[in-house]
């Protein structure tokens, strides 16, 4: 039986240049979708999947992320005094259990593979999840929950994929697969950001992974790939054929919050999706569209 997945690595060192000036003094992962920061969606997705230990790979000016998941004693005491129990509960829910989060820095922007490699000693020799918090996924069970369930059956590496238009392959890691059954297919190859005409398929990796610790052995070599960066996809590609490796076709909601329009879409879509905001959001959109 496959070892259970207990840890998640969340790479959050990026500068967020696409969101300047909003991200001048604030991490992009603290940008809010409806009422919680992007990073909280990723953490909640893990917790829902039974993954409870976190390695945040951060950079300079990312202190707000650490504060967000800490106890906010003064705020909580004030909310308690004022009888604001709902708000108190929301605040307390945004914490991570004592001792379950590590914050380590990626000191140079050498690529996603390098960011994950920075977590190697905290992860150790066990399978782990990776979530790119720019990608917001909403489903039940969560995308990571689906990967964990698949991993329990297959072991090895499992990545979530979605079909994208061929002209977009240049923005993603792309998986070549065979023998798809019940949304799970065997991975036969991986390429980072191929040109549309050379892409082996249109199945894009959407920033959700379950990986075996052997990936660190490949990342150790610090080989550069697409864009001159150390790519996670290249290290994973070296594992194809050497361990079970599957792609899970994700069918839930997914928003690319790394782009301004994707982020805006996420806000509107999540507000429409949530029972407590759907009615008001519908009315608001009608109003705005009529104006
Ligand atoms: C990264 C990964 C890529 C993946 C993508 C998903 O690329 O390298 O394989 O498909 O995230 O968002 P980035 O968007 O950081 O360039």
28 and 89 inside one domain: yes
Query: Mutation test of ligand 1: which of 29, 112, 206, 224 has the most ligand atoms closer than 8 Å to its C-beta?
Result: 112
Q: Please name which of 65, 219, 208, 63 lies closest in space to residue 146, comparing C-alpha atoms.
A: 208
Count of domains in the chain? Answer: 2
Structural domain includes residue 246: no
Structural domain includes residue 163: no
Query: Mutation test of ligand 1: which of 38, 171, 211, 255 has the most ligand atoms closer than 8 Å to its C-beta?
Result: 171
Ligand 1, atom nearest to 227 Cα = 16
Ligand 1, atom nearest to 206 Cα = 6
- Which residue CA neighbors atom 9 of ligand 1 most closely? 173
Structural domain includes residue 269: yes
Q: Which residues sit with their C-beta closer than 6 Å to ligand 1?
A: 112, 132, 135, 172-173, 192, 204-207, 231-233, 258
Ligand 1, atom nearest to 112 Cα = 8
32 and 104 inside one domain: yes
11 and 140 inside one domain: yes
121 and 55 inside one domain: yes
DSSP class of residue 240?
B
Q: Could you tell me the distance, in angstroms and rounded to a whole number, from the CA of residue 125 to the centre of ligand 1?
A: 24
Structural domain includes residue 275: yes
280 and 229 inside one domain: no
Instruction: Give pLDDT tens digits along the chain (291 positions).
Output: 677 999 999 999 998 899 999 999 999 999 999 999 999 999 999 999 999 999 999 998 899 999 999 999 999 999 999 999 999 999 999 999 999 999 999 999 999 999 999 999 999 999 999 999 999 999 999 999 999 999 999 999 999 999 999 999 999 999 999 999 999 999 999 999 999 999 999 999 999 999 999 999 999 999 999 999 999 999 999 999 999 999 999 999 999 999 999 999 999 999 999 999 999 999 999 999 998
211 and 287 inside one domain: no
Q: What does the alpha-carbon distance between residue 33 and residue 17 come to, in Å, rounded to a whole number?
A: 18
> What CATH number is associated with residue 33?
3.90.550.10
114 and 52 inside one domain: yes
pTM, two decimal places: 0.95
Q: Could you tell me the distance, in angstroms and rounded to a whole number, from the CA of residue 171 to the centre of ligand 1?
A: 7
Ligand 1, atom nearest to 207 Cα = 6
Burial class (CB in 10 A: 0-12, 13-18, 19+), 195: exposed
Structural domain includes residue 219: yes
100 and 136 inside one domain: yes
In this structure, what token pair is assigned to residue 201? 């398929």
State the first-to-last Cα distance of the chain, in angstroms, to the nearest integer.
59
101 and 228 inside one domain: yes
86 and 209 inside one domain: yes
**Residue-range definition of the domain harbouring residue 92:** 7-155+205-234
Q: Please name which of 8, 65, 58, 57 lies closest in space to residue 31, comparing C-alpha atoms.
A: 65
Q: Could you tell me the distance, in angstroms and rounded to a whole number, from the CA of residue 3 to the centre of ligand 1?
A: 26
Q: Could you tell me the distance, in angstroms and rounded to a whole number, from the CA of residue 64 to the centre of ligand 1?
A: 24
Structural domain includes residue 209: yes
Three-state secondary structure of 191-229: EECCCCCCCCCCEEEEEEEEECCHHHHHHCCCCCCHHHC
Q: Could you tell me the distance, in angstroms and rounded to a whole number, from the CA of residue 164 to the centre of ligand 1?
A: 13
129 and 55 inside one domain: yes
Burial class (CB in 10 A: 0-12, 13-18, 19+), 189: middle
Structural domain includes residue 172: no
How many Cβ atoms are within 10 Å of 211's Cβ, its own excluded? 26
Position 1 scores a pLDDT of 66
Q: Could you tell me the distance, in angstroms and rounded to a whole number, from the CA of residue 207 to the centre of ligand 1?
A: 6
What φ, ψ does residue 244 adopt, rounded to 5°? -55, 135
Structural domain includes residue 190: no
- Which residue CA neighbors atom 15 of ligand 1 most closely? 112
Position 241 scores a pLDDT of 95
């Amino acid at each position: 039986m496959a070892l259970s997945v207990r840890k998640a690595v969340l790479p959050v060192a990026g500068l967020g240049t696409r969101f300047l000036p909003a991200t001048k003094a604030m991490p992009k992962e603290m940008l809010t979708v409806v009422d919680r920061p992007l990073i909280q969606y990723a953490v909640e997705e893990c917790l829902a999947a039974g993954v409870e230990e976190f390695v945040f790979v951060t950079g300079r000016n990312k202190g707000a992320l650490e504060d967000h998941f800490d106890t906010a004693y003064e705020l909580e005491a004030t909310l308690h005094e004022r009888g604001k129990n709902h708000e108190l509960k929301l605040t307390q829910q945004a914490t991570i259990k004592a001792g379950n989060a590590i914050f380590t820095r990626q000191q140079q922007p050498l690529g996603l593979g390098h960011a994950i490699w920075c977590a190697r000693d905290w992860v150790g020799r066990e399978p782990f999840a990776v979530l790119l918090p720019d990608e917001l996924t909403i489903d039940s069970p969560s995308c990571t929950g689906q990967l964990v369930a698949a991993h329990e059956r297959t072991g090895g590496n499992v990545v979530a994929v979605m079909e994208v238009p061929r002209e977009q392959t240049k923005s993603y890691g792309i998986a070549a697969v065979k023998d798809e059954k019940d949304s799970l297919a065997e991975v036969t190859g991986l390429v980072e950001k191929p040109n549309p005409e050379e892409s082996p398929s249109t199945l894009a990796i959407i920033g959700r992974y379950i990986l075996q610790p052997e990936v660190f052995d490949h990342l150790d070599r610090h080989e550069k790939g697409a864009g001159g960066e150390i790519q996670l996809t290249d290290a994973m590609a070296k594992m194809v054929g050497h361990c079970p490796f599957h792609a899970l076709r994700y069918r839930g909601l997914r928003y690319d919050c790394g782009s301004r329009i994707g982020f805006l879409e996420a806000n509107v879509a999540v507000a429409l999706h949530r029972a407590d905001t759907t009615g008001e959001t519908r009315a608001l959109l009608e109003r705005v569209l009529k104006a």
